[in-house]
Protein backbone atom coordinates (compact mmCIF):
# COMPACT_ATOMS: atom_id res chain seq x y z
CA UNK A 1 0.00 0.00 0.00
CA UNK A 2 1.32 3.42 -0.94
CA UNK A 3 1.64 5.69 2.09
CA UNK A 4 -0.35 8.89 2.05
CA UNK A 5 1.68 12.07 1.91
CA UNK A 6 0.33 15.38 3.17
CA UNK A 7 2.21 17.65 0.77
CA UNK A 8 -0.46 20.33 0.37
CA UNK A 9 -1.16 20.45 4.12
CA UNK A 10 2.55 20.70 5.00
CA UNK A 11 3.23 23.45 2.44
CA UNK A 12 0.18 25.40 3.64
CA UNK A 13 1.22 25.04 7.29
CA UNK A 14 4.66 26.44 6.45
CA UNK A 15 3.07 29.38 4.63
CA UNK A 16 1.29 30.39 7.87
CA UNK A 17 4.70 31.59 9.15
CA UNK A 18 3.90 30.53 12.72
CA UNK A 19 6.35 29.27 15.34
CA UNK A 20 5.94 25.65 14.27
CA UNK A 21 4.22 24.15 11.21
CA UNK A 22 3.85 20.82 13.03
CA UNK A 23 1.93 22.51 15.87
CA UNK A 24 -0.37 24.00 13.24
CA UNK A 25 -1.01 20.56 11.73
CA UNK A 26 -1.26 18.89 15.12
CA UNK A 27 -3.99 21.30 16.18
CA UNK A 28 -5.88 20.70 12.94
CA UNK A 29 -5.70 16.89 13.16
CA UNK A 30 -6.63 16.90 16.83
CA UNK A 31 -9.65 19.14 16.27
CA UNK A 32 -10.72 17.14 13.21
CA UNK A 33 -10.49 13.94 15.27
CA UNK A 34 -12.58 15.39 18.11
CA UNK A 35 -15.18 16.50 15.52
CA UNK A 36 -15.13 13.00 14.06
CA UNK A 37 -15.50 11.29 17.44
CA UNK A 38 -18.38 13.51 18.55
CA UNK A 39 -19.81 14.02 15.08
CA UNK A 40 -20.47 11.40 12.47
CA UNK A 41 -18.88 8.43 14.18
CA UNK A 42 -20.27 7.99 17.67
CA UNK A 43 -23.34 6.05 16.56
CA UNK A 44 -21.27 3.63 14.45
CA UNK A 45 -21.09 0.30 16.24
CA UNK A 46 -17.63 -0.65 15.02
CA UNK A 47 -16.09 2.62 16.20
CA UNK A 48 -17.84 2.48 19.53
CA UNK A 49 -16.59 -1.07 20.03
CA UNK A 50 -13.07 0.39 19.78
CA UNK A 51 -13.74 3.42 22.02
CA UNK A 52 -15.48 1.16 24.57
CA UNK A 53 -12.31 -0.86 24.90
CA UNK A 54 -9.59 1.79 24.45
CA UNK A 55 -11.21 4.79 26.13
CA UNK A 56 -9.76 8.31 26.05
CA UNK A 57 -6.85 9.96 27.86
CA UNK A 58 -7.40 12.79 30.35
CA UNK A 59 -6.44 15.54 27.92
CA UNK A 60 -8.85 14.35 25.23
CA UNK A 61 -11.62 13.62 27.73
CA UNK A 62 -11.43 17.28 28.78
CA UNK A 63 -11.37 18.34 25.13
CA UNK A 64 -14.48 16.24 24.44
CA UNK A 65 -16.30 17.80 27.39
CA UNK A 66 -15.34 21.32 26.28
CA UNK A 67 -16.34 20.60 22.68
CA UNK A 68 -19.97 20.13 23.69
CA UNK A 69 -22.48 17.65 22.24
CA UNK A 70 -23.44 16.21 25.62
CA UNK A 71 -25.68 13.54 24.05
CA UNK A 72 -22.79 12.31 21.90
CA UNK A 73 -20.52 12.25 24.95
CA UNK A 74 -23.22 10.45 26.93
CA UNK A 75 -23.52 7.65 24.34
CA UNK A 76 -19.76 7.14 24.28
CA UNK A 77 -19.63 7.16 28.08
CA UNK A 78 -22.61 4.82 28.47
CA UNK A 79 -21.10 1.93 26.55
CA UNK A 80 -17.58 2.60 27.83
CA UNK A 81 -19.02 2.33 31.36
CA UNK A 82 -20.76 -0.93 30.43
CA UNK A 83 -17.46 -2.31 29.13
CA UNK A 84 -15.56 -1.16 32.23
CA UNK A 85 -18.16 -2.70 34.58
CA UNK A 86 -18.02 -5.98 32.71
CA UNK A 87 -14.23 -6.05 33.02
CA UNK A 88 -14.48 -5.14 36.65
CA UNK A 89 -16.97 -7.80 37.60
CA UNK A 90 -15.11 -10.52 35.69
CA UNK A 91 -11.99 -9.61 37.69
CA UNK A 92 -13.79 -9.43 40.99
CA UNK A 93 -15.11 -12.96 40.43
CA UNK A 94 -11.92 -14.63 41.52
CA UNK A 95 -9.24 -13.07 39.36
CA UNK A 96 -8.12 -10.41 41.84
CA UNK A 97 -5.31 -11.38 44.15
CA UNK A 98 -5.85 -9.78 47.56
CA UNK A 99 -2.99 -7.71 48.99
CA UNK A 100 -0.97 -10.05 51.14
CA UNK A 101 -0.80 -7.93 54.31
CA UNK A 102 -4.61 -7.63 54.53
CA UNK A 103 -6.51 -5.05 56.60
CA UNK A 104 -8.06 -1.82 55.34
CA UNK A 105 -5.29 0.60 56.35
CA UNK A 106 -2.62 -1.58 54.86
CA UNK A 107 -4.62 -1.85 51.63
CA UNK A 108 -5.05 1.90 51.22
CA UNK A 109 -1.41 2.49 51.94
CA UNK A 110 -0.35 -0.14 49.45
CA UNK A 111 -2.60 1.27 46.76
CA UNK A 112 -0.63 4.52 46.59
CA UNK A 113 2.64 2.83 45.78
CA UNK A 114 3.37 2.07 42.13
CA UNK A 115 2.13 -1.42 41.46
CA UNK A 116 4.93 -3.41 39.88
CA UNK A 117 3.26 -6.80 40.18
CA UNK A 118 1.78 -6.73 36.69
CA UNK A 119 4.53 -5.08 34.60
CA UNK A 120 3.23 -2.85 31.81
CA UNK A 121 1.04 -5.37 29.99
CA UNK A 122 -2.38 -3.63 29.80
CA UNK A 123 -4.14 -6.99 29.95
CA UNK A 124 -2.63 -7.86 33.35
CA UNK A 125 -4.02 -7.13 36.80
CA UNK A 126 -5.27 -3.59 37.31
CA UNK A 127 -3.25 -2.16 34.39
CA UNK A 128 -6.32 -1.96 32.16
CA UNK A 129 -7.90 0.53 34.58
CA UNK A 130 -5.25 3.14 33.73
CA UNK A 131 -4.47 2.01 30.20
CA UNK A 132 -6.62 4.67 28.51
CA UNK A 133 -3.77 7.21 28.96
CA UNK A 134 -1.87 5.11 26.41
CA UNK A 135 -4.61 3.49 24.35
CA UNK A 136 -6.69 6.70 23.87
CA UNK A 137 -8.64 6.54 20.62
CA UNK A 138 -7.92 10.20 19.70
CA UNK A 139 -4.21 9.94 20.51
CA UNK A 140 -3.89 6.82 18.37
CA UNK A 141 -5.69 8.29 15.36
CA UNK A 142 -3.57 11.41 15.72
CA UNK A 143 -0.30 9.46 15.93
CA UNK A 144 -1.05 7.61 12.69
CA UNK A 145 -1.51 10.88 10.77
CA UNK A 146 1.34 12.66 12.55
CA UNK A 147 3.74 9.88 11.52
CA UNK A 148 2.76 10.46 7.89
CA UNK A 149 3.24 14.21 8.30
CA UNK A 150 6.81 13.74 9.51
CA UNK A 151 7.38 11.43 6.53
CA UNK A 152 6.02 14.15 4.25
CA UNK A 153 8.54 16.65 5.67
CA UNK A 154 11.33 14.16 5.01
CA UNK A 155 10.12 13.53 1.48
CA UNK A 156 9.95 17.26 0.68
CA UNK A 157 13.34 18.01 2.25
CA UNK A 158 14.83 15.23 0.11
CA UNK A 159 13.16 15.98 -3.19
CA UNK A 160 12.09 19.65 -3.27
CA UNK A 161 15.00 22.11 -2.99
CA UNK A 162 12.57 25.02 -3.10
CA UNK A 163 10.66 23.64 -0.09
CA UNK A 164 13.90 23.12 1.79
CA UNK A 165 15.04 26.68 1.22
CA UNK A 166 11.63 28.05 2.31
CA UNK A 167 11.92 25.89 5.43
CA UNK A 168 15.38 27.31 6.13
CA UNK A 169 13.96 30.84 5.94
CA UNK A 170 11.04 29.96 8.24
CA UNK A 171 10.56 30.38 12.00
CA UNK A 172 11.55 26.75 12.58
CA UNK A 173 9.75 24.33 14.90
CA UNK A 174 8.89 23.95 18.56
CA UNK A 175 11.46 21.86 20.41
CA UNK A 176 9.47 18.60 20.71
CA UNK A 177 8.39 18.62 17.06
CA UNK A 178 11.91 19.50 15.97
CA UNK A 179 13.15 16.48 17.94
CA UNK A 180 10.65 14.20 16.15
CA UNK A 181 11.70 15.54 12.75
CA UNK A 182 15.40 15.38 13.53
CA UNK A 183 15.21 11.82 14.84
CA UNK A 184 13.27 10.76 11.72
CA UNK A 185 15.95 12.35 9.48
CA UNK A 186 18.70 10.51 11.38
CA UNK A 187 16.79 7.27 10.98
CA UNK A 188 15.71 7.54 7.36
CA UNK A 189 18.28 9.67 5.51
CA UNK A 190 21.35 8.36 3.74
CA UNK A 191 24.67 9.70 5.00
CA UNK A 192 24.81 12.14 2.11
CA UNK A 193 21.26 13.42 2.73
CA UNK A 194 21.92 13.72 6.45
CA UNK A 195 25.12 15.69 5.93
CA UNK A 196 23.20 18.21 3.86
CA UNK A 197 20.02 18.48 5.93
CA UNK A 198 20.91 18.05 9.58
CA UNK A 199 23.35 20.98 10.03
CA UNK A 200 20.90 23.24 8.16
CA UNK A 201 18.05 22.17 10.44
CA UNK A 202 20.17 22.85 13.52
CA UNK A 203 21.09 26.32 12.23
CA UNK A 204 17.43 27.03 11.53
CA UNK A 205 16.52 26.19 15.11
CA UNK A 206 19.44 28.05 16.65
CA UNK A 207 18.61 31.24 14.77
CA UNK A 208 14.95 31.04 15.82
CA UNK A 209 15.68 30.20 19.44
CA UNK A 210 17.86 33.35 19.48
CA UNK A 211 14.94 35.33 18.03
CA UNK A 212 12.54 34.04 20.69
CA UNK A 213 15.08 34.79 23.41
CA UNK A 214 15.31 38.40 22.18
CA UNK A 215 11.49 38.65 22.16
CA UNK A 216 11.04 37.40 25.71
CA UNK A 217 13.96 39.58 26.93
CA UNK A 218 12.43 42.68 25.38
CA UNK A 219 9.01 41.77 26.80
CA UNK A 220 10.54 41.98 30.31
CA UNK A 221 12.51 45.14 29.50
CA UNK A 222 9.28 46.83 28.39
CA UNK A 223 8.10 46.73 32.03
CA UNK A 224 10.96 49.05 32.95
CA UNK A 225 9.48 52.56 33.23
CA UNK A 226 12.30 53.90 31.04
CA UNK A 227 10.94 51.78 28.19
CA UNK A 228 7.27 52.48 28.66
CA UNK A 229 7.04 54.56 25.49
CA UNK A 230 9.35 52.33 23.48
CA UNK A 231 8.01 50.13 20.71
CA UNK A 232 6.91 46.59 21.59
CA UNK A 233 8.71 45.39 18.45
CA UNK A 234 7.70 41.73 18.03
CA UNK A 235 7.39 41.07 21.78
CA UNK A 236 3.74 41.72 22.54
CA UNK A 237 2.80 38.02 22.35
CA UNK A 238 6.22 36.76 23.41
CA UNK A 239 4.87 34.76 26.36
CA UNK A 240 2.58 32.35 24.44
CA UNK A 241 5.07 32.10 21.55
CA UNK A 242 7.96 31.27 23.89
CA UNK A 243 5.76 28.69 25.61
CA UNK A 244 4.95 27.17 22.23
CA UNK A 245 8.60 27.14 21.17
CA UNK A 246 9.55 25.25 24.31
CA UNK A 247 6.72 22.74 24.63
CA UNK A 248 4.50 22.97 21.54
CA UNK A 249 0.77 23.78 21.12
CA UNK A 250 -0.96 27.17 21.36
CA UNK A 251 -1.36 28.26 25.00
CA UNK A 252 -3.41 31.33 24.00
CA UNK A 253 -5.97 29.34 22.00
CA UNK A 254 -9.59 29.59 23.09
CA UNK A 255 -11.34 26.35 24.08
CA UNK A 256 -12.30 24.32 20.99
CA UNK A 257 -16.10 24.14 20.80
CA UNK A 258 -18.71 22.66 18.54
CA UNK A 259 -19.88 25.23 15.97
Question: Which one-letter DSSP state was computed for residue 96?
Answer: P
CA–CA separation, 55 and 9 (whole Å)? 29
Q: Choose the binding region for Zn ion from 23-31, 72-80, 146-154, 231-239 (rule: CB under 5 A).
A: 23-31
User: 232 by DSSP, 3-state: which?
Assistant: coil
Q: Choose the binding region for Zn ion from 16-24, 80-88, 91-99, 146-154 (rule: CB under 5 A).
A: 16-24
Q: Choose the binding region for Zn ion from 14-22, 78-86, 123-131, 229-237 (rule: CB under 5 A).
A: 14-22
Asked if 177 interacts with Zn ion (CB under 5 A), we say yes
For 147-178, give the DSSP string.
HHHHHHHHHHHHH-HHHHHHHHTS----HHHH
Asked if 14 interacts with Zn ion (CB under 5 A), we say no
Is residue 73 within 8 Å of 65, Cβ to Cβ?
yes
Half-sphere CA count of 24, side-chain side, radius 13 A: 16
Shortest separation between residue 101's beta carbon and Zn ion, angstroms: 36
135 Cβ neighbours under 8 A, 6+ residues apart: 53, 54, 55, 122
The 10 Å Cβ neighbour count of residue 6 is: 21
Asked if 60 interacts with Zn ion (CB under 5 A), we say yes
Asked if 201 interacts with Zn ion (CB under 5 A), we say no
Shortest separation between residue 120's beta carbon and Zn ion, angstroms: 18
Asked if 174 interacts with Zn ion (CB under 5 A), we say yes
The 10 Å Cβ neighbour count of residue 18 is: 17
Asked if 139 interacts with Zn ion (CB under 5 A), we say yes
CB closer to Zn ion, 22 vs 150: 22
Shortest separation between residue 37's beta carbon and Zn ion, angstroms: 10
Among 55, 72, 172, 248, binds Zn ion (CB under 5 A): 248
Shortest separation between residue 245's beta carbon and Zn ion, angstroms: 8
Question: Which one-letter DSSP state was computed for residue 103?
Answer: S
- Give the residues lining the site for Zn ion (CB under 5 A): 20, 22-23, 57, 60, 136, 138-139, 174, 177, 248
Amino acid sequence: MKEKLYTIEVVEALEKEEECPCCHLERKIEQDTICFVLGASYMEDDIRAVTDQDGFCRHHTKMMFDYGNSLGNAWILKTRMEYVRKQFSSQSKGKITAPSSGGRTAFLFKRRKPDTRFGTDPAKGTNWMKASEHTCYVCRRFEETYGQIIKTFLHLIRTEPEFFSTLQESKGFCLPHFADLYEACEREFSLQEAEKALPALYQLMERNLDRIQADIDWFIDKFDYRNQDADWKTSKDAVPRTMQKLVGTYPADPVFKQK
